[in-house]
Structure formats: structure tokens, C-alpha cells
Amino acid sequence: TTRIERHHYDVVVIGAGGAGLRAAIEARLAGKRTAIISKSLFGKAHTVMAEGGAAAAMGNVNSRDNWMVHFRDTMRGGKFLNNFRMAELHAKEAPERIWELETYGALFDRTKDGKISQRNFGGHEYPRLAHVGDRTGLELIRTLQQKIVSLQQEDFAETGSYDSKIRVFAETTITELMLDGDRVAGAFGYYRETGEFLLLEAPAVVLATGGVGRSYKVTSNSWEYTGDGHALALRAGATLINMEFLQFHPTGMVWPPSVKGILVTESVRGDGGVLRNSEGKRFMFNYVPDVFRKQYADTEEEADRWYTDPDNNRRPPELLPRDEVARAINSEVKEGRGTKAGGVYLDVSTRMPAETITKRLPSMYHQFKELADVDITKEPMEVGPTCHYVMGGVEVDPDSAAAFGKVTGLFAAGEVSGGMHGSNRLGGNSLSDLLVFGKRAGEHAAAYVDALAKRPRVATSDVESAVDVALAPLNRQSGENPYTLQQDLQAVMGDLVGIIRRAGELTDAAKRLQELKQRVANVGATGGRKYNPGWHLALDLRNMLVVSECTAKAALEREESRGGHTREDFPAMSPDWRKVNLVCSVDKSGDVHLERKPLPKMREELITLFDRTELSKYLTDGEMVEFDALPG
Ligand code: FAD
């Protein structure tokens, strides 16, 4: 029989990025024995790569900022498809979560009078991103880890063991959730180094596994982002929403090929960087959509004045939401005004002194110097769109982060959850999302455990089948090569379900994904269980595949263009589609189903934060009649 290490916890948190760590801290503070699982080394998550900052309406740089303005910006950025309650909680609670980080030891950059400094970012009306140079995520992870260590020291003083109440399992991948009927009962996985299996029995599981970018050819995401949490949720009976909405960040590196996709932070534009095509033209002025025309400058002069006098000038169009900028770059390149490597120019060298560049954008300076041999203080960068963030994710209750669908005891926070960002996320809203909903997930997971009359049990037969599934690729040494399969999947998603989509190609994608599904069922891995990346990828592939199926199906179904979903055959936003969430589920045989579900309706005191003209660009005539009938 196969050896399986067994552990018992109250709460298991899968993922050690910002959302997972913040959830674990809260569960432990509520007295729960908590495990944190991380596929890679502890401390190496996407959160650590976040550069620009965390959005929170603290009003430190412009005192006119407040949660209502942040809420409005978030809804606009998401083109009104956001779960309004999540956007509301996020805008209201983000400042508190940032200040709290300082009590954990975070050191944000300061304004002259000693407050937490805030920088401009696309789609945010006022300077709002709390930051540490362009290395904000590193500080966030550092302080959350420091808080965990300090809690472990308290536990040591009390129990004699650092791990007694909060334990980290690094380089450990969860492959399956365990259920008792429709209740979560634990998680099953393997240690990457030894290939040994482990079972964590727990009545509550928090998914905090981040994104899905690795299913795309060009992506800013690192190797571990294979949509595991999305797939675990689906297989456990939970549902996903908004999977058609993927954020293609406008500025990834395009050259040299080995680093294609690596992110160039939006701070470059926030701090004054401009986009030019191969003819030297600042093309973004040609791409301001009607819904945003009032807020954006129409001349270079006004745009440039905005950096020093934002109250009397409108913002530069380079700072439009990411979906707009990515599409604009895509069009310029397609129409033959791109660079040789297929991008456009992003320039700071003619915009600010070299010392300012190296001080404000140190990571970017080093990234281009080391990876592309480009000195950004002297010459422009070459950039193009890269698959960056998934707006879609686990459908959750906004207040408690509990997953919807046929399962209880499952919670989700951070990038793996859906709804908060609607059809497009604003930069900086992810780091704040992690903190706000990570805390809520930990708190409510703990409360759920407290309220349980009886703990769920893991059935031996379920553990045995999890072992069988995990070992299957190793029992098929001459099966399909996992690396070839991943490349084929990336080609289908990149070419047919990419930044611009068409019905014919999406139908073709669905067919090819079915073929890939057959091949993935026959994936093999050579070698044994000890540190075997081919085996690991073979196991990740079924997750990537089911998540990609949801994306492709939803992208075909949604016949409009909105945020991170652009249909060439349906180029306009449709007010009727705005009212619809596409909900994805899988049945016992693994088939993907899609269902239309009405979007929750915004409460009166929130919808009246917008003016009528703006709302009329997004809402149906029927909704406008309801709006006009509101008292006051
Ligand atoms: P992550 O930080 O992605 O962590 C996921 C965790 O889950 C990891 O520990 C991983 O190992 C673990 N995991 C995954 N699958 C499994 C499994 N099967 N078993 C066990 N563990 C698993 N957002 C902003 O707001 N501001 C920014 O400036 C910004 N800059 C960014 C720059 C880059 C280069 C990138 C890639 C993203 C950036 N983002 C930014 C987005 C933001 O960083 C991410 O959306 C966010 O960090 C996601 O956090 P998370 O806690 O949800 O997950």
C-alpha cells in the first residue's frame, strides 16, 4: 500500500500569496489550528511580484479621495459587471487593511508630511496606490510572513512547538479536495521534492491559489499558475463565474524571445511614461472610447500638465484602463505601426531625468538592463500585451467568501475568486482585494468550524482514488508528453481565445480542447516520484484544461465586448449582457456546463453615486426606468 502522511487541522489554506497568508493569520487569530500549503517555496507567489502598489482610498495625497470614489472607479473599470457588494466592501475596508499592515511592520513610501504615499494608476481618479518603490508585493509578503512568524513564536512560548497552531507546508501541491457528502473534509496532495503523499483532514478549506495564466503562450504569470484552485473548486461542486474575462496587460516585454511576456509595470505610465508607435506618434489619443472621453485629455499639452496639476487638467490616455490600452497596442501593431519585435515603444527616457527613473523605477531599470540590454534612461522599452490576470473565478458570497454551488466549508479569496473586478480589474486593486477578502475568508472559515456540530470524515476510498489519479501518469511512461500537451494548449488559448475573439475560432477552440482532453487523459511521465517536474505538469494539465474549457465556452456564449473579453463579431457593449453572469460547473463525468445567472442588483445608495448620463451608457432602458423611479 502507498504511504500517506496524515494531519488534522481546523482550517487548511491552499496558497501562500497575500490572500492565503492574510486568511491564515485571521484563522489563527480566531484560535483555529491552521495549515498553509504552497506549491512553490514559501514567499514565492505572484503577490511578491506585484510592483505598483495596493489601492486604498486613504486620501493622503488628494484629500478628495474616499471609499465612494474608489467604489465608482472600480465599477467603471469593471464596466459595471462587478459584484457591487464586493466592490463596496473592498473600497470601504482597504484603507484599514493597509494601516493594519503597518502594525505588522510594513514600511510604505512616505509623503513629505510623513503619511503613506500614494501613486497614480490607470482608472483611479486620485493617487491611490500605497507603494514601496516598485516592489510593493515584496513588502506585503515580507510583513505577512513576519506576522506569521511572530504568531508562531507566541505559540512556541505557550506550547513548546512553533507549528502547534500554524504550520507551513512549502513545495507541496494539492491535487484534490476531499468531501464528506457535500461538505469539505480536507485536501490531498504531494510533496514536490519527495513525491510522497499527504492528507490534511479539515472541515474548512480556503482556496487562495491565484491565477491561470500558464494556459497562455505569452503571460506574465510564473509556472505555478495553472488554475489549480479554480479546478479544485469545480470538481468539489462549486461554481466559477466570469471566466471569459482575462486581463491582457498592455505592457509585457516583447524582446528578447526568452523573456517575452514578463511584466513592465503600469507605474511606468503612472509616473509619466508614454506610448509611441513606430512612427513616433503618441497613439493613445486616438483610442479614447466615448464612455471615458470626459475624464481624459485630448491634447499632449493637457496630458503633460496633468502630472503636476491634476485638479485643472484631464489625465493622459496612456492611463486608460488596461483593456483599452491593450486593444490599442494590438491595433497599432496589426495595422503595421509596431516595432520589429511586434510591440510598441514605451518611453521614459525623454520624459524624466535618469536619476528620477532609477529612483522611482529601480526594478524596471534592472529588468531591462539585465534581460534585454536596454538602458531605459537612454532609450525606449519595447512592449506588447501579455496574459496577466483572470477576473473570473470561484463564485463566492461577498461577505463571507464562502463558495457557492453544491459544497459547504469551501472558501476562496484573492485572484482565484470571481466577481470583485467584473470584466476588468484596475491595477492596484488586486493587492487590496487579497487583504480585504483574505481576512474575511479566514474569519468566516473559522466561524464555520465553530458552528459545526459534527466534523466531516474522509472516506478511505476517496483517498485511494486520489492516489490512483496522482500515480496514473507515472504508470504510463510512454503516454503523451506533458510539455507537448502544454504547448498545444497554450497555442489553442493564445491563438483562438486570446485578446481579440471570433465565433468561428472559439468554436474551433472548443473542438480542439475536446481533442486535448482525450490526449491529457493519456498523459504519461517518465521517471519516478522524486522531484519530477514532468509528472507535476502532467497533474496540472487536467486543471488547465477544465479551466480553459470554461473560458472558451463562456467566451463563445457572451456575444458582446466588455473589459477583458473582446469579440470582433460583437464589438459593442450590450446592456442586456451586462445583467448576466456566466456560471460554469462540471458534472461527475467531468463535462463543463454553462448557465446564465442574473447579476445582483446594486443597492440604491450605491447606484445613486453615479450620474444618470454615465449609467445610461451601461444599463438597459428598463433599468434606467427603475433608476428614474428612485426617490430623490
Ligand atoms: P498568489 O500570490 O498568486 O499566490 C498563489 C499561491 O497559491 C502560491 O503560493 C502558489 O504556490 C499556491 N498554489 C497554487 N496552486 C496550488 C496548489 N495546487 N497547491 C498548493 N499551493 C498552490 N496586483 C496589484 O494589485 N498591484 C500590482 O502592482 C501588481 N503587479 C503585478 C505584477 C506581476 C508581475 C504579476 C504577475 C501580478 C501583479 N499583480 C498586481 C497581480 C497580483 O500580484 C496577483 O493578482 C495577486 O498577487 C494574487 O494573489 P493571491 O494571493 O490570490 O495568489
Q: What is the mean pLDDT of residues 156-179?
A: 98
* pLDDT reported for residue 77: 93
β pairing state of 240-241 and 393-394: antiparallel
The response to whether residue 442 sits with its C-beta less than 6 Å from ligand 1 reads no
Annotated catalytic residues are 249, 269
Q: What value, to the nearest 5°, has the Cα angle with vertex 566 and ends 259 and 278?
A: 50
Considering the entire predicted model, what is its pTM? 0.94
* pLDDT reported for residue 133: 85
Three-state SS string across 486-503, please? HHHHHHHHHHHCCCCECH
The response to whether residue 43 sits with its C-beta less than 6 Å from ligand 1 reads no
The response to whether residue 89 sits with its C-beta less than 6 Å from ligand 1 reads no
Mutate to test the pocket of ligand 1, among 14, 46, 431 (most ligand atoms within 8 A of CB): 46
Residue 629 exposed, middle or buried by CB count within 10 Å (0-12, 13-18, 19+): exposed
Q: Whose CA is nearest to atom 53 of ligand 1?
A: 210
Residue 155, C-alpha cell as written in the block:
505559540
**DSSP summary character for residue 408:** B
Q: What is the mean pLDDT of residues 7-29?
A: 98
The response to whether residue 525 sits with its C-beta less than 6 Å from ligand 1 reads no
- Whether 632 shows a pLDDT value over 80: the answer reads no
CA of 189 relative to ligand 1 center, distance in Å: 20
C-alpha span between 241 and 262 (Å, rounded): 27
- Whether 258 shows a pLDDT value over 90: the answer reads no
Closest ligand 1 atom to residue 222 Cα is 36
**pLDDT tens profile 437-473:** 999 999 999 999 999 999 999 999 999 999 999 999 9
The response to whether residue 52 sits with its C-beta less than 6 Å from ligand 1 reads yes
Mean pLDDT of the chain: 96
Residue 152, C-alpha cell as written in the block:
508562531
- Whether 552 shows a pLDDT value over 70: the answer reads yes
* pLDDT reported for residue 1: 67
With beta carbons less than 8 A apart as the criterion, state whether 260 and 252 touch: yes
Look at the chain and count its residues. 632
Q: Whose CA is nearest to atom 9 of ligand 1?
A: 16
Residues 6 or more apart whose Cβ sits within 8 Å of residue 572:
560, 561
CA of 389 relative to ligand 1 center, distance in Å: 9
- Whether 137 shows a pLDDT value over 90: the answer reads yes
**pLDDT tens profile 27-82:** 999 999 999 999 999 988 999 999 889 999 999 999 999 999 999 999 999 999 99
Closest ligand 1 atom to residue 47 Cα is 47
**pLDDT tens profile 172-188:** 999 999 999 999 999 99
ipTM more than 0.90?
yes
**DSSP summary character for residue 425:** P
C-alpha span between 24 and 148 (Å, rounded): 8
* pLDDT reported for residue 566: 95
Q: At what angle do helices 136-159 and 429-451 cross, to 10 degrees?
A: 30
462 or 122, greater pLDDT: 462
Q: Per DSSP, what are the bridge partners of residue 384?
A: 252
Element (H, E) at 185: strand 183-191
How crowded is residue 569: how many other Cβ atoms within 10 Å of its Cβ?
Answer: 12
CA of 415 relative to ligand 1 center, distance in Å: 7
- Whether 245 shows a pLDDT value over 90: the answer reads yes
Q: What is the mean pLDDT of residues 275-292?
A: 95
Closest ligand 1 atom to residue 175 Cα is 18
* pLDDT reported for residue 321: 83
Give the percent of the chain with pLDDT over 90. 93
Q: Per DSSP, what are the bridge partners of residue 241?
A: 393, 583
- Please state, in angstroms and as integers, the Cα–Cα distance from residue 123 to each residue in 6, 92, 103, 318, following that order: 48, 18, 29, 10
The response to whether residue 18 sits with its C-beta less than 6 Å from ligand 1 reads yes
Residue 412, C-alpha cell as written in the block:
476562496
> Which single residue is written with the C-alpha cell 483593456?
323
* pLDDT reported for residue 121: 86
